[in-house]
Amino acid sequence: MSAAVSGWQITGHTRLFGILADPVTHVRTPMVFNAFFREHGIDAVLVPIEVPPDRLAALLDGLRAMTNLAGFVVTIPHKTAVAGLCDEISREGRLIGAVNTVRREHDGRLVGTMFDGVGFVAGLRRKGHDPRGRRVYLAGAGGAASAVAFALADAGVARLTLFNRTAAKAADLAARLRAAHPGVEVALGSADPSGHAIAINGTSLGLKPGDALPFDVARLGPDSVVAEVVMNPETTALLAAAAARGCPVHLGRHMIEEQIRLMADFIWA
């Protein structure tokens, strides 16, 4: 995964990466990846690609045809849909039902996997918030939240409480978690996160000004860690409300910071 990059010039030899989103204006991934490429002398560039859900399948057909495309990152709202459009997905992707990283093989086949969960848990640990043996609350049941839920179960949480506005999605995620991790206590909860050491927003709420809070911060004690998957804005309304209560907060960008090498290595393999 090494290449000499002189003056950070994009040439005909440069390998292409992308990030798929809708909208794409909030993503921090291009900044993080391109800094990583420069730091490690990798002749590659990652560009933002905005695509609405109804054009996603057509876009992937086009990406299959791009022989200088190494792969792409996937974010809101496409993680679940892309999993169904890949030619192959990893065990993690199958369990979670979503992918956030896709490699383009030389023959154009698309192979997907999911690093959101392992990146999120690694970020928690790096900041001193190891979830092992703790009671954790998670709002959301989509692609990112599901990845985080499975990674928390892998990490050995004492109890994982799930809350989602669509209760059936939370129940489905809980059933999949219990099947894969029978030793982990999984419960369905409400917007009340009280009694948990860590409370996580795994939804997209917070991306847009005026979004509702994903759960009731007023029910948390001052020792509860409040964590985000939303990366932009860096301080969401949830984190601002949590900080005002004196709660330790954990930023969404720590998730991508921890998984970037895993993503680049997978795509470059």
pLDDT attached to residue 108: 97
One pLDDT digit (tens) per residue for the chain, 269 residues = 444 444 678 999 999 999 999 999 988 889 989 999 999 899 999 999 999 999 999 999 999 999 999 999 999 899 999 999 999 999 999 999 999 999 999 999 999 999 999 999 999 999 999 999 999 999 999 989 999 999 999 999 999 999 999 999 999 999 999 999 999 999 999 999 999 999 999 999 998 899 999 999 999 999 999 999 998 899 999 999 999 999 999 999 999 899 988 998 899 86
CB–CB of 252/205 below 8 Å? no
Instruction: Give which of 162, 156, 124, 140 is closest to 207, Cα–Cα.
Output: 140
Strands (E), 105-154: 110-113, 135-139
On the CB side of 255, CA atoms within 13 Å amount to 29
What the block records as the tokens of 251 is 């930023």
What the block records as the tokens of 212 is 């509702």
| pTM confidence score | 0.86
Give the helix ranges, DSSP H, for 3-142: 29-39, 56-64, 79-85, 91-96, 116-126
Domain chopping of the chain, boundaries: 15-114, 117-255
Do the domains 15-114 and 117-255 sit in the same CATH topology, yes or no? yes
Supply the CATH classification number for the domain 15-114: 3.40.50.10860
CB–CB of 127/99 below 8 Å? no
The catalytic site residues sit at 79
pLDDT attached to residue 5: 46
Q: Sheet of 69-74: strands edge to edge?
A: 44-50, 15-21, 69-74, 101-104, 110-113, 88-89
Report the CATH architecture of 117-255.
Answer: 3-Layer(aba) Sandwich (3.40)
pLDDT attached to residue 3: 43
Helix, strand counts (H, E) of the chain: 9, 12
Query: CA 154, CA 152: separation in Å to the nearest integer?
Result: 5
